[in-house]
Amino acid sequence: MTTTDTLEKTCRLVLVDDHPAVINGYRFMLQAYPSFEICGTAANESAALALVAREKPDLLITDLNMPGRGGLELIKDLAALHPGLKIIVSSMHDEMLCAARALRAGASGYVGKDSPGNALLDAIHKVLDGGVYVSERLAAHLAASFATPRPRGSTESPLTKLSDREFQVFELFGHGQTAKEIAAQLHLSPKTVSVHRDHIKEKMGFVTSAEMIRQAVRWVETQRDVLK
C-alpha cells in the first residue's frame, strides 16, 4: 500500500514524544489524511499508558528517549497490556543499534527522524496491514546477519552487547545524570544502577567509570548531531 492509498476505516493514533515541535510536526502531516484521527498525545511513558487505556487507539507512534522509564519499557508494557495495539518507533537514534531492540520489545516499525517525510506514512500503512517496517538499509543488514556468521574481530558497536536496561543506563549517563538520578528515574535502587554500570564497563572494555561516562557523553552527542 502506498502513502496515497485510503484506509478502509479511520485509524485512531496516539503520539508520544516529549518535544512539542515533534508532536506538532506529526499533527501537521497526519491531519492532512481523513483516515487518521489523533486521539491524544503524551510526553512520557506513564501518561502514554493512561492515554492508551482510556482511548484504545489502533496505533501508537513513540520516541525512545523520554522522561521516566523510557520508550523501550513503554513498548514492553503496551505489548503486554494491549497486544492488539500497533506500535511504531520514530527516533533519532541509530537504527542499527536501536531498531532491533524496539522490535524485540514489541514494536512493528522503526523510522529514523532523519528519514524522508513519506517514510513514516509508509510505515503506518505497512504496519496496519500486518507487516513490519524498517529501512531498506536495516533490512539488508538484518538479512546479511542471518545469512552469514559474524566474523571474528567484527567491528560491530560494543553497544550491541548491552542489555536493554544497560543500554538505557549508558544513555542516561551520557545525558549527564548521576547514578542516584538514574535510579530515581528508572525506579531502581542506586545499588542496581551501580551493578548495571559495572556490567557496562566490563562488556565495553572500560577500566574506570569516568572513562565509561566520557564515552557515553560522546555517544549522546553523536546522536544529537543526526538531527542537525
Q: What is the mean pLDDT of the chain?
A: 86
Phi, psi of 91 (to 5 degrees): -140, 155
How many C-beta neighbours within 10 Å does residue 189 have?
10
Tell me what percent of the chain is helix, strand and coil, each rounded to the nearest 5: 55, 10, 35
Cα separation, 65 vs 49, whole angstroms? 16
5 within some domain: no
Structural domain count of the chain: 2
Which CATH number do you get for residue 127? 3.40.50.2300
Residue 3 has pLDDT above 50, yes or no: no
If asked whether residues 43 and 137 sit together in one domain, one would say: yes
Element (H, E) at 110: strand 109-112
Residue 228 has pLDDT above 80, yes or no: no
If asked whether residues 100 and 174 sit together in one domain, one would say: no
If asked whether residues 112 and 217 sit together in one domain, one would say: no
| pLDDT band at residue 130 using 50, 70 and 90 as cut-offs | very high
Buried b (16+ CB within 10 A) or exposed e, 69-92: bbbbbbbbbbeeebeebbbbbbbb
Cα separation, 13 vs 82, whole angstroms? 14
152 within some domain: no
148 within some domain: no
Phi, psi of 147 (to 5 degrees): -80, -30
pLDDT at site 8 = 62
- Between 147 and 15, whose confidence is greater? 15
If asked whether residues 172 and 218 sit together in one domain, one would say: yes
Cα separation, 44 vs 58, whole angstroms? 19
Residue 80 has pLDDT above 70, yes or no: yes
Enclosing domain of residue 218? 158-225
Per-residue DSSP letters for 154-187? ----GGGGS-HHHHHHHHHHHTT--HHHHHHHHT
Which CATH number do you get for residue 168? 1.10.10.10
Residue 156 has pLDDT above 80, yes or no: no
Cα separation, 49 vs 116, whole angstroms? 29
192 within some domain: yes
Q: Look-up: residue for cell 567509570?
A: 209
User: What is the model's pTM?
Assistant: 0.78
Element (H, E) at 48: helix 45-55
212 within some domain: yes
150 within some domain: no
Buried b (16+ CB within 10 A) or exposed e, 194-207: bebbebbbebbebe
Query: What share of the chain in percent tops pLDDT 70?
Result: 87
If asked whether residues 35 and 71 sit together in one domain, one would say: yes
If asked whether residues 21 and 126 sit together in one domain, one would say: yes
CB distance 62 to 74 below 8 Å = yes
If asked whether residues 167 and 96 sit together in one domain, one would say: no
- Between 33 and 155, whose confidence is greater? 33
The three-state secondary structure class of 201 is: helix
If asked whether residues 77 and 43 sit together in one domain, one would say: yes
